Amino acid sequence: MSLLAISKKNNMSQRTALSLPAAEIPADQVHITEAAAARISELLLQESKPEGLLRVGVIGGGCSGFSYHFAIEPAAKPNDHIFQSLGAQICVDPKSLKLIGGSLLDWHDSMQRKGFSLKNPQAAKNCSCGESFSL
């Protein structure tokens, strides 16, 4: 697995892959696995938005107090942090990054679960569905 490095582009933080242990994901970054990157690319092609990206965020609610939110966006907003790996990009708003920084974004496709998931080191408790957490 690799981590993401910070560079500046068009007043937005942009991260690209580096070779570092996954356990060392800095609190101001989100790592994207190969499976998640592949799925993001597939979704963008299906939605006819090849220049788009996946928004990863946090909203109030869910079993444990906060829920993860994923949506395809045509472009990032000016204050978003952008992370990329293997050609796939995600954007995270500053408030959400405070809650999910240091996380690992993955894609699961099994009989039990199909969807994106975040391994969030800041979560004190996760619900059994994996879609919500508390601090």
**pLDDT per residue rounded down to tens, the chain (135 residues):** 333 433 333 444 444 444 344 568 898 999 999 999 999 999 999 999 989 999 999 988 766 678 889 999 999 999 999 999 999 999 999 999 999 999 999 999 888 788 998 898 887 766 655 566 656
Query: How far, CA to CA in Å, does 79 sit from each of 10, 26, 75, 119?
Result: 11, 19, 12, 24
Domains of the chain: 3-134 (2.60.300.12)
pTM above 0.85, yes or no: no
Structure tokens at 104: 């690992």
